[in-house]
Amino acid sequence: MIFLDDERNPPLGNWLVARDAAQFRALLKNHEPSIISFDHDLGCDERGAELPSGQHCMRLLIDEAMDHPAAFDHLRLVILHSANPVGRANMRGLLESAQRHGILPSVRLVEMPVTSHPLTTWRIA
């Protein structure tokens, strides 16, 4: 399970945490997750420039799934836990478009809009 978020800690469970796009990319290349949970806004660099977002990471997932579909045979659930409604909609749109083209067809999408910390009350089955 991969949890992408620059601030929040994951709910209880055996989550691998990615705080930015580079960490997310590394986890995708080295693990075969069954669940991935996405935040959208991943902070800014030291100069205040926005870092690559969860939307960028969703594109990374889709690209990897196109190039190496067998590596994602175990992926069953994508969760969007962003408090940013526009970012969440954009990530949903990317995944739904990919699925219409046969990429990650068996992945279920769940949206869990977040308005506060922590996420410890999640129950992922």
What are 12-29's pLDDT values in tens digits? Answer: 889 999 999 999 999 999
- Strands of the chain (E only): list them: 2-4, 16-18, 35-38, 77-80, 108-111
Distances (CA, A) of 49 to 8, 14, 52: 20, 32, 10
> Could you tell me the sign of the dihedral formed by the alpha carbons of 84, 85, 86, 87, in that order?
positive
Q: Rounded to two decimals, what is the model's pTM?
A: 0.89
Q: Which residue has the higher pLDDT, 120 or 79?
A: 79
- DSSP character for 60? H
Domains of the chain: 2-111 (3.40.50)
Tens-digit pLDDT profile for residues 56-115: 999 999 999 999 999 999 999 999 999 899 999 999 999 999 999 999 999 999 998 665
User: What is the structure's pLDDT at 81?
Assistant: 92
User: What is the structure's pLDDT at 122?
Assistant: 57
Angle at alpha carbon of residue 104, lines to 16 and 3, rounded to 5°: 15
Round to whole Å and give the CA distance between 8 and 12.
12
The arrangement of strands across the sheet holding 77-80 comes to 16-18, 2-4, 35-38, 77-80, 108-111
